Amino acid sequence: MDETPVWMHAEAQTPVDLQVDRPHGARIYDFLLGGKTNYAADREQAEKVIASIPSAAESARENRAFVHRVVRHLVREHGIRQFLDVGTGIPTSPNLHEVAQSVDPTARVVYADNDPIVLTHSRALHISSAEGATAYIEADATDPDGILDSRVFRDTLDPEQPVAITLCLLLHWLPETYDAYGMVRRLLDAVPAGSALVITHATKDFDERVGKIEEDFEDTGSSVRTRTKAQVGRFFDGLDLVPPGLVAPQRWRPEDVEIEAGNSGAVGDGHVPIWSGVGLKPGA
C-alpha cells in the first residue's frame, strides 16, 4: 500500500490530512481484524497493544461477532429498524447495515466517525439495500448535538421510531475530562421509548495488565481510558438491560446465531477484556 496517500474529501474536494505518521484507533483496529487500511505507525502501535493484550486480535473479532449478534437480535426480537452507529470504524464485512438489512431490507443506518479515512472508505463501500438507507456523518462523538442536528441524521432516521444507538469500542477513546455519560444521555433523550443502547468498552477488570494500553497511548495524541463494570453499567442507568446483562462479548447470547469466525462462545472471560451490554429504553 502507498504510505503517503492524498485523499480528497468526498464533498468539499479538498485534500484530507490522514496523519499517517500517527497511529489512529480505526486503523489499529483494522490491522487487528486483518484489514489492509493501516500504515506503519498504526502497525507499530498495534504491536504495543498486542504486547499488553496478547488476545487483542481475537478480542477485536469477538467484539465484531457481538455487534453482528446484537444487530440481528434487535431487528428480529425487538423490531428495531433504525441504527445510529457512532465510532463506525473502517468498513469490515459484514458491516452493520448489511447485517440489519439481511434481516429486514428496510433497515436504515446512519454511521458517524471523526476519522476521515473511515468516512472515505464508508462512502465507497457502504451500499445499501434498495429498500433501506445507509448514510454517513463526519462528526465527533463529543458533539452529540452536531450528530442529532445534522441533515443526514434528520433525513435518514424517523425520530418517532425506535433507534438503536451503537457505541462499540468507542467510549474509551473519549478524553478523560469529557462527560461521556452526558453524551450518552443526550443521544438517548433524542430517541423514543423502545430504542436501544449498545456498548462495548475496554476494561482491566479481568486482567490488570490491560491498563498498560492507557500508558501506551499517552504519547500518540489519543487517550484510552478503561472502565470498570460498575462504570460501564452507569451508561445504562434508567434502561432495561437485555439478558444476560453486562458480560464479555463472547458471553452475550452466543447461542443466538450460527457460529461465526471469532465467536466460539468458549473463550474465557479474561481473554477478552471488554464489557458488552444492550439496554432498552423503557415505556414502549
Ligand X SMILES: C[S@@+](CC[C@H](N)C(=O)[O-])C[C@H]1O[C@@H](n2cnc3c(N)ncnc32)[C@H](O)[C@@H]1O
Contact footprint for ligand X (CB under 6 A) = 25-26, 29, 63-64, 67, 87-89, 113-115, 118, 140-142, 168-170, 173-174
Smallest separation (angstroms) from ligand X to the CB of 173: 4
Smallest separation (angstroms) from ligand X to the CB of 18: 12
Question: Smaller CB distance to ligand X: residue 160 or 175?
Answer: 175
Tell whether the torsion through CA atoms of 151, 184, 223 and 246 is positive or negative: negative
Smallest separation (angstroms) from ligand X to the CB of 263: 13
Question: Smaller CB distance to ligand X: residue 172 or 281?
Answer: 172
Smallest separation (angstroms) from ligand X to the CB of 139: 7
Q: What amino acid occupies position 34?
A: G
Question: Smaller CB distance to ligand X: residue 27 or 81?
Answer: 27
Residues forming beta bridges with residue 119, ordered by sequence position: none
Question: Smaller CB distance to ligand X: residue 18 or 67?
Answer: 67
Smallest separation (angstroms) from ligand X to the CB of 233: 19
Which residue carries 450460527 as its cell?
A: 258
Question: Smaller CB distance to ligand X: residue 63 or 101?
Answer: 63
Smallest separation (angstroms) from ligand X to the CB of 284: 25
Question: Smaller CB distance to ligand X: residue 156 or 200?
Answer: 200
What residues have CB less than 8 Å from 219, skipping those under 6 apart?
none
Which residue carries 480505526 as its cell?
A: 26
Smallest separation (angstroms) from ligand X to the CB of 264: 18
- Which residue's CB atom is positioned nearest to ligand X? 89
Question: Smaller CB distance to ligand X: residue 29 or 235?
Answer: 29
